[in-house]
Amino acid sequence: MGKQEDFVLRALEERDVRFVRLWFTDVLGSLKSVAIAPAELEGAFAEGIGFDGSAIEGFARVHEADMLAMPDPSTFQILPWRGETPATARMFCDILLPDGTPSYADPRHVLKRALQKAAEAGFTFYTHPEIEFFLFKGKPDKGDRPVPVDDSGYFDHTAQGGGQDFRREVITMLENMGISVEFSHHEGGPGQQEIDLRYADALSTADNIMTFRTVVREVALSQGKWASFMPKPFTEHPGSGMHTHVSLFEGDENAFYEAGAEYQLSKTGRAFIAGVLHHTPEITAVTNQWVNSYKRLAGGGEAPNYVCWGHNNRSALIRVPMYKPHKGNSARVENRAIDAACNPYLAFALVLAAGLKGIEENYELPPEAEDDVWSLTENERKAMGIAPLPRNLDEAIRTMEASELVAETLGEHVFDFFLRNKRAEWQDYRSQVTQFEIDRLMPMV
């Protein structure tokens, strides 16, 4: 038993914790939970908690079902929405095979493996997500259009607005759990919210995103509302993304910063961007994993649909911000493609792997896009060497299938399962007759 385990066991008594929830995610990023009594926790730290992996999406075939959930004591937190007494706590888990080796199907281990590779190259990977979502008056019935909680727009301050009170309660709960929030505001669509988490190492951020999505849904339900991270719930309004700022550090030094360089961006930073741009089409099926994700990317505005980068260009896939040009540790790049409905462990692992590949092989950064990429013609984009992202999930799957980088980063099991699941989703989607087809064709065909 280490110091962290001892701290958790003492906290159980001091805080009157009666239930401990062990959290982990499946391959698609859905949160899973098993509750144990405090008396069982010491044994769980030593040996893990056994469960049937075949019952979890993507974890195991029936004949190899036994798995262990090993709680990570560094992630111990009290769940504030469960009340103070008796209290309920949670910890994230690493998933192990019966012999104690990491499970090939654990998304958290996929990210840990990518972070270890970065560490061997001397880097620590930090991420800072801007998470967008919609807040509705209630869960819509099947076939009904969801009703937003307001008609406000970007940065609007609405007197006695329900969104403001909602964001305040969410942020209070997050901070009670040790998750720091940097900004919050109303986004561009009616009922659309944005809450930005403060930067942290990528593993902590991925855990925080899973907690964030749970807190948002819990607060919404407690207020009689419904929150959704669906990338594009409305045709006529902006979609919800998760613009993610990333940076690499070498010790205490930001590896992306070079004083006097163009945009203060170092050679390492430029090669990292080049790697992400080069491999983004291959990883898009993971960073944008749902059929609906491509409705957001095709919508224009601030959602990217082309592989390019720019300085403060919000139509570009990768943006190099300059908020604090003379503060080296704030140097970073922003990936604007990722949406909030992804599996953050897999998404971060692949963005990191793509950037590291660019550094390892000295990829050359193409010229930046200075114009609004959406306003250019197709021929102009071709002349500038700006290629499109996959247009739909089918294209994204086909591109991912041929990617050695994705297969190596995810591992064979996760890679194969993810592709099988997404092919099935695309097949279900493409066989549906939509209201659009009925409205357009029925009157004239």
**Mean pLDDT across the chain:** 91
Q: What is the pLDDT of residue 53?
A: 72
pLDDT score recorded for residue 62:
47
316/282 same-domain check: yes
- Boundary residue ending a domain (102, 121, 143): 102
Q: Which residues are annotated as a binding site for ATP?
A: 182, 245-247, 314
Rounded to an integer, what distance in angstroms lies between the CA atom of residue 132 and that of residue 186? 9
With a cut of 70, say whether residue 402 has pLDDT above it: yes
d(CA 30, CA 28): 6
For the CA atoms of 172, 179, 346, 239, the dihedral, rounded to the nearest 10 degrees, stands at 30
Q: What percent of the chain has pLDDT over 90?
A: 73
Same domain, 338 and 238: yes
Tell me the DSSP string of 139-176.
PPPTTSPP-BS----TT---TT-HHHHHHHHHHHHHHH
pLDDT band at 55 (very low <50, low <70, confident <90, very high): low
- CA atoms of 246 and 220, how far apart (whole Å): 29
Phi, psi of 411 (to 5 degrees): 90, 155
In a domain, 398, yes or no: yes
Question: For residue 64, is pLDDT > 80?
Answer: no
Q: In terms of domains, do 137 and 56 share one?
A: no
> Each residue of 206-230: pLDDT tens digit?
999 999 999 999 999 999 999 999 9
Which residue range is the domain that position 158 belongs to?
Answer: 112-438
131, containing H or E segment: strand 124-136
- Annotation: binding site for L-glutamate: 296, 302, 314, 336
pLDDT in tens, 77-95: 999 987 777 899 999 999 9
Query: In this structure, what token pair is assigned to residue 445?
Result: 């065909």
Q: Is the same domain home to 83 and 120? A: no
CA–CA dist 136, 141 (Å, integer): 12
CATH number at residue 72: 3.10.20.70
- Is the predicted pLDDT of residue 440 greater than 90, yes or no? yes
Which whole-number Å values give the CA distances from 417 to 53, 102, 344, 424, in the listed order?
14, 17, 17, 11
Check whether residue 274 and residue 361 sit in a common domain.
Answer: yes
Binding residues: 130, 132, 182, 187, 194, 243, 245-247, 296, 302, 314, 334, 336
Q: Domain for residue 288, yes or no?
A: yes
* Torsion from C-alpha of 277, 283, 284, 285, nearest 10 degrees: 170
Q: Are residues 203 and 288 in the same domain?
A: yes
Average pLDDT of span 46-55: 81
- At 144-164, the pLDDT tens digits run 899 999 987 776 776 555 677
* Domain annotation covers residue 304: yes
Specify if 107 maps to a domain. Answer: no
Q: Which has the higher per-residue pLDDT, 337 or 155?
A: 337
* Mean pLDDT of the region 384-407: 96
Q: With bands split at pLDDT 50, 70 and 90, how would you rate the model's confidence at 291?
A: very high
Domain boundary among 43, 71, 102: 102
pLDDT tens-digit series, residues 251-278? 999 999 998 898 899 999 999 999 999 9
Give CA–CA dist 183/198, Å, rounded: 8
* pLDDT higher at 53 or 230: 230
Structure confidence at residue 372 (pLDDT): 83
Q: Prior bond to 367 cis, omega within 30? A: no
Indicate the pairing of strand 31-36 with strand 49-52: unpaired
Binding-site positions for Mg(2+) read 130, 132, 187, 194, 243, 334
Same domain, 180 and 34: no
DSSP string, 21-51: EEEEE-TT--EEEEEE-GGGHHHHHHH-EEE
Judge if 415 and 342 occupy the same domain.
yes
Whether residue 249 sits in one domain with residue 127: yes
Lowest mean pLDDT among 70-74, 163-167, 414-418: 163-167
Question: Cβ(380)–Cβ(71) under 8 Å?
Answer: no
Kindly tell me if the per-residue pLDDT of 68 is higher than 80.
Answer: yes
Domain of 268, CATH number, reads: 3.30.590.10
Task: Provide DSSP, 325-336.
Answer: TT-GGG--EEE-
Q: What is the mean pLDDT of residues 97-119?
A: 94
pLDDT score recorded for residue 63: 47
Q: What is the pLDDT of residues 163-206, one digit of tens each?
A: 778 999 999 999 999 999 999 998 889 999 999 999 999 999 99
pLDDT surpasses 90 at 29: yes
Q: At what angle do helices 162-176 and 202-222 cross, to 10 degrees?
A: 130
**Position 213 in a domain:** yes
Give yes or no: residues 53 and 122 share one domain.
Answer: no
Domain match, 188 and 253 both:
yes
Rounded-to-integer distance, Cα 128 and Cα 242, Å: 10
Which of 102, 134, 153 is the last residue in one of the domains? 102
- Per the structure, how many domains does the chain have? 2
In a domain, 254, yes or no: yes
Cα Rg, the chain, nearest whole Å: 22
Q: Is residue 444 part of a domain?
A: no
Say which amino acid occupies 242. Answer: M
**Model confidence at 345: pLDDT above 60:** yes
The residue whose two tokens read 């409905």 is 341
Please compute the mean of the pLDDT values over residues 416-424 and round it to a whole number.
Answer: 95
- Amino acid letter, 173: M
Same domain, residue pair 320 and 393: yes
Q: Is residue 445 part of a domain?
A: no
Alpha-carbon separation of residue 369 from 245, 374, 387 (angstroms)? 19, 11, 12
Cα separation, 250 vs 118, in Å, equals 10
